[in-house]
Amino acid sequence: MQIPRKQINISELFVSIQGEGKYLGHPSIFIRTSGCNLKCRWGQTKCDTPYTSWDPESNPVTIKRIIDNVKNLSQKYPEINELILTGGEPMIQKNLHLLIDEIKMLNYFITLETNGTSAKHLNLDFISISPKLKSSTPVESNFEKMHEEKRYNKEALLFWLDNYDCQLKFVVNVPEDELEILNLLSDLNYNSPDTIYLMPQGIDSKQLKENSKLCVDICLSHGWNVSPRAHIDIFGNIRGK
């Protein structure tokens, strides 16, 4: 098998800071895959990367080319030692494991950002899981039934939590999200408050501000953590940041 010729559908590859969760503010290389098995929408607000989910771009790139681009960035930013695989949903890429193995040989600390609907053994250092709540379901759309059926996979979540260093990062949009999160954690028998983050839903500073207060109130009640979306606050909702 000639691994370098295998392809991954890539939307963008760039350098920025991690804007969310445990490693907030860390300079990182991002590889954003295109394509998602869910269709998140909160009211009329689609996910912040609709070009990888609702209208996924088709841009198959060979693993060799991806690695060459990472090496070029490594030369330009030699102090960066963290790499983030994000999307879309990276886990739907059938050659993801091959790409990860190649990246690992470059000695990067690799984070996978996933919605937690599927799981398997991969050579990863950290898993950032963002299970999607009912408020993310695109009601009155052609994707409503599909999204609602797929968004919660208990077995996949338990696999990640039992085998990897993880964080659970929930997008909060309405007060009802609190009870759903509590029920989900109970179903998983999961009680590690220091690894649970609530993140305000929003694709601009106005939306983020409106939902941040709700996140704070819920976290104060349960000892969880609030995560800002620093990249949106700093750069706005633009690609490559």
CA separation (Å) from 133 to 106, 115, 196, 226, 233?
A: 36, 10, 14, 17, 23
pTM of the full structure? 0.95
Query: How long a stretch of residues is the chain?
Result: 241
CA contacts within 13 A on the Cβ side of 158: 8
* Tokens coding 132: 């999607």
d(CA 113, CA 124): 11
Smallest Cα–Cα separation from 225: which of 204, 190, 198? 198
Q: Which domains does the chain have, with CATH numbers?
A: 3-169 (3.20.20.70)
Region for 107 from its dihedrals, namely left if φ exceeds 0, alpha if ψ lies in -120 to 50, beta otherwise: left
- Tens-digit pLDDT string for the chain (241 aa): 577 789 999 999 999 999 999 999 999 999 999 999 999 999 999 999 999 999 999 999 999 999 999 999 999 999 999 999 999 999 999 999 999 999 999 999 999 999 999 999 999 999 999 999 999 999 999 999 999 999 999 999 999 999 999 999 999 999 999 999 999 999 999 999 999 999 999 988 889 999 999 999 999 999 999 999 888 887 777 787 7
